[in-house]
Amino acid sequence: MINSIKNILKSLFQNRILQHILFWMASFYVLVQFFALEENITDIDIVYTLLFHISLVIGVYLNTSVVVQIFLKKEKYGLYIIALIALWYFVAFLNQFTFEKLSDWIAPDYFFISSYELADLLKFSFVYIALSTLLKLSKSGFHVLETAKQLESLKREQAETELNALKANINPHFLFNNLNSLYALSRKNAKETPEYILKLSELMRYMIYETKDQMVSLEKEINYISNYLDLQKLRCHSDTNIHYSIDGEIGSQEIVPFLLIPFIENSFKHGGVNQSNSNLIDLKICIEEENLSMILINSTAPKESIEIGKEGGFGIENVKKRLNSHYPDRHELTLALRQDQFKVKLKLKLNDE
């Protein structure tokens, strides 16, 4: 109920027509009190105040709709100042003209003369033009803030979409192949079978339940990578040389989930399970306080044609976008193909402070 009332009030006060009505009602109330000849407001006070507002209304809307839009927002500051001064004097002269000429036509039952000298009218003109300019600019500022909020919301949605896309892009046969590997182990009555089943369980739990936030614990991400590597070893050719080391102290650091795994998946695609000899996967991850570095080398087939920058297809392109989005000035990524080896070098500053 309270939220509904808040939403109604918010929509009302965001209504442009209502905002303008409230502004001029407040203006009329203040000036009629100021112009009143006696303690009680009379008809002549009301009519005089209405006539006085003619020049002010015209001046305010000429300022906000013409002068600000044409000159100030287009950064034509010299022309804006000239137009503003011209409008300033125009409003004052229009006020004089209203009481000397127009009042006889608009309110023939009343006799008015301009009660203020030009200098005083210029003060009124200045106040309303300055006030309308500030309100217009502040409104533009609110629009900027609102746009920034919308962009932030879109950015979060984009991050979530990219994350879901990465989850979906993880080899759809990965689970099936690992189940086959575990089945083969169980047929041999291998004592390590329960250990690998637990690794697969932890890996799937992390993928499904623990990566919903924009940032995750670096420790959990590293554990996920370790489990992935151990499970992939079961599938690789016996000649494949898989080396990986994770050095450094992991504390309370956080990282964007699935940031490193596309590179590692790609290394197995080209250097692990698709070749029969001379297979190599060498991964080194080093953590030093808020800095993380990864060097990954994998062998490639001699006849394999790989275009640098598109290595790995969607997964690598996706992770590049995520690096630019979440670590815009805090990462260095190098992809290099030399003879029959592909090398990935990534440096990442985890904290933006």
CATH code for the domain in which residue 310 is found: 3.30.565.10
Does the pLDDT at position 8 exceed 70?
A: no
Same domain, 146 and 237: no
Domain that holds residue 260: 170-349
Same domain, 213 and 148: no
Q: Tens of pLDDT along 161-182?
A: 556 655 555 555 567 777 777 7
Question: Which residues sit opposite 282 in a β-bridge?
Answer: 243, 297
Answer yes or no: is 68 within a domain.
yes
Q: How many alpha carbons lie under 13 Å from residue 265 in its C-beta half-sphere?
A: 21
pLDDT at position 255? 92
Same domain, 258 and 286: yes
Same domain, 194 and 337: yes
Q: Rounded to whole angstroms, how far apart are CA atoms 70 and 67?
A: 5
pLDDT: which is higher, 220 or 9: 220
- Structure tokens, 316: 């690598």
Torsion of CA 97, 103, 106, 107, to 10 degrees: 170
Answer yes or no: is 263 within a domain.
yes
pLDDT: which is higher, 310 or 117: 117
C-alpha angle with apex 324: 162 to 344, nearest 5 degrees?
Answer: 90
Give the C-alpha distances (Å, rounded to integers) separating 100 from 45, 58, 116, 160, 214: 17, 17, 12, 67, 68
Q: Which of 159-163, 180-184, 216-220 has the highest mean pLDDT?
A: 216-220
Same domain, 193 and 126: no
Answer yes or no: is 70 within a domain.
yes
pLDDT band at 309 (very low <50, low <70, confident <90, very high): very low
Q: Is the pTM of this model over 0.85?
A: no
Residue 40: DSSP 8-state: S
Same domain, 76 and 139: yes
Final residue of a structural domain among 152, 186, 202: 152
Answer yes or no: is 95 within a domain.
yes
Query: Do the Cβ atoms of 50 and 24 come closer than 8 Å?
Result: no
pLDDT band at 9 (very low <50, low <70, confident <90, very high): low
Answer yes or no: is 247 within a domain.
yes
Final residue of a structural domain among 152, 180, 207: 152
Q: Which of 107-111, 229-233, 268-272 has the highest mean pLDDT?
A: 229-233
For the segment 37-63, the average pLDDT, to the nearest whole number, is 87
Q: Tens of pLDDT along 48-57?
A: 889 899 999 9
pLDDT at position 144? 43
pLDDT at position 120? 85
- Using the structure block, give the residue that is written with the tokens 């803030």: 145
pLDDT: which is higher, 85 or 269: 85
Same domain, 96 and 184: no
Using left for φ > 0, alpha for ψ between -120 and 50, and beta otherwise, residue 312 falls in left
Q: Is 252 exposed, middle or buried (0-12, 13-18, 19+ CB in 10 A)?
A: exposed
Query: Do the Cβ atoms of 73 and 91 come closer than 8 Å?
Result: no
Q: How many alpha carbons lie under 13 Å from residue 311 in its C-beta half-sphere?
A: 26
Question: Which residues sit opposite 336 in a β-bridge?
Answer: 343
For the segment 205-215, the average pLDDT, to the nearest whole number, is 81
pLDDT at position 142? 43
Same domain, 139 and 267: no
Answer yes or no: is 135 within a domain.
yes
How high is the mean pLDDT of the chain?
Answer: 79
Q: Rounded to whole angstroms, how far apart are CA atoms 347 and 183?
A: 38
Final residue of a structural domain among 94, 119, 152: 152
Same domain, 139 and 183: no
Q: Rounded to whole angstroms, how far apart are CA atoms 40 and 63?
A: 34
C-alpha angle with apex 323: 320 to 327, nearest 5 degrees?
Answer: 160
Same domain, 210 and 68: no
Number of domain units in the chain: 2
Same domain, 88 and 179: no
Same domain, 124 and 208: no
Q: Is 96 exposed, middle or buried (0-12, 13-18, 19+ CB in 10 A)?
A: middle
Answer yes or no: is 179 within a domain.
yes
Query: Do the Cβ atoms of 250 and 220 come closer than 8 Å?
Result: no
Least confident range of 74-83, 90-99, 148-157, 255-264: 148-157
CA proximity to 254, closest of 224, 215, 226: 215
pLDDT: which is higher, 55 or 268: 55
